[in-house]
Structure 1
């Protein structure tokens, strides 16, 4: 393994560990994260932006690869409701689009 490849792997691992530490330090619900971990296995960071971090993951139920986006609640400006649960508007819009059939 070349040094640049090794450095990228270390950076991704460190980022993943830092994310877990931030969850604990920010007082995020460990119960919620434990529930998440029962359904998904995080594999590494795909990318990050101003609103969150996207990770590669495996859905436990069917072992399919998925992308998971973690959004800091403090950065959410608009909220919506699905089944009486307050969620970021981005999630509400995705839920509405999921009902649209493709061609």
Structure 2
């Protein structure tokens, strides 16, 4: 899960961009944030990117290839462990994926 999201952050980042990973515990939950300074994801795609085989069309124009199953599998695995994943992005200035898993 973490490898897939980090690889996406690197793949869709800008030249000389950054990827920042933060981990902390809040009210019995382990929170991991993976933030990049890349191309971002428009709000209308925030839920769709977790659908199997969905790919944001602009990414194919940029020469990125993939199967579109990575984030859907991440969501399934995270939910199996009673967790959740969300994305924050304006569609311009990078994206932050927030993963929440129970501490125990």
User: TM class, shorter-chain normalised?
Assistant: under 0.3
Higher helix share: 1
TM-score by length of 1: 0.25
Q: Compare CA radii of gyration and give the structure with the larger one.
A: 1
